[in-house]
A and B are shown apart, each in its own frame.
Chain A
Amino acid sequence: MSGMSKIVKTISSITFPLITIYGLYVIAHGHLTPGGGFQGGAIVASGCAMMLVSYGSIWIVSRVKEKNLSILESLGAVCFILLALLGLGFGAVFFNNFLVGTNSLFGVVPAAGSGLADINTGGVIPLMNFAVGLKVIAGLFGIVLVMAHASRTKGEKK
């Protein structure tokens, strides 16, 4: 029987979706407001860490496997580097922001000097934000989960 008291559990399960949607909001609005892939990912990972501490690591491990987290993280990283490589394919160089100015999805350029901009701007930046966000969520939560689980199975090895 691990985890914390009932009150903490209830409040955690109420706040967890809020934290998650807020983290995703921060990720999606990285190019308009402070934030971005890394910050939003850290927020969501912190929310997962909150679930870990209030419900106990056994409960979490029975739902999330660290192998799956590792694969998710790999996927995020691959997406990121592929976006960069697409810059080499469409534009001319690695890491070229090939979407900007195309007026397609994400390709709109805001008027200079104003704050009136939509989520629909920024070229590949929002996509990269999501890739990095996925990676950071999986990575940071993976670290905390593995360490927490290892700290409880003390003395199992040897």
Chain B
Amino acid sequence: MIFNIPFIAVAALILIGLYAVIFKRNLIKMVIGITLIESGVNLFLITLGYREGSIAPIYTSSPGGIMALPVPQALTLTSIVIGVAVLALMLSLVIHIYRHYGTLDVRKIGGPEE
């Protein structure tokens, strides 16, 4: 009916993230790209677990119905935490790189060895 638009959005998010990682020169931009890939994967997991006309997988006193799948939600929780942890580590490394090189341009740091 709606041509799997959420799934296409997932693909678009992942591709935008990859684009940032490959084509952008700023280190923080690359990190942002990685968070975008992360968000895309999270959205994918949640979208997989959605059932049309379902309710959240929590028993409440309101009238029940079919429930959305709980496992992808649990996986996404784990994935979100992992995202924060990785983001913090990457950004602290970026801060250190900036202190050493004075720039964030990916072509100016590093370079070939010897």
Contact = CB atoms under 8 A, between A and B. Distances in A.
Task: Indicate if A touches B (C-beta under 8 A).
Answer: yes
Interface of A: 32-34, 36, 38, 110, 113-117, 140, 143, 146-147, 150-151, 154-155, 157-158
Contact of A150 (B59, B62, B95): B95
B106 interface: no
Contacts of B92: 146-147, 150
Given A38-B81, A140-B84, A147-B88, A115 B60 contact: yes
Contacts of B59: 110, 113-115, 117
Contacts of A110: 59
A114 B62 CA distance: 9
A33 B84 CA distance: 24
B97 to A, nearest CB: 13
A33 B64 contact: no
B99 interface: yes
A66 B95 CA distance: 19
Nearest to B80: A38
B56 interface: yes
Contact of A157 (B62, B77, B84, B99): B99
Interface of B: 56, 58-62, 64, 77, 81, 84, 88, 91-92, 95, 99
Interface of A is mostly: loop
B91 A147 contact: yes
Given A113-B64, A143-B88, A150-B92, A34 B58 contact: yes
A116 B84 contact: no
A142 to B, nearest CB: 10
B55 to A, nearest CB: 11
Contacts of A113: 59, 64
B62 to A, nearest CB: 7
Contacts of B58: 32-34
A89 to B, nearest CB: 26
Contacts of B99: 154-155, 157-158
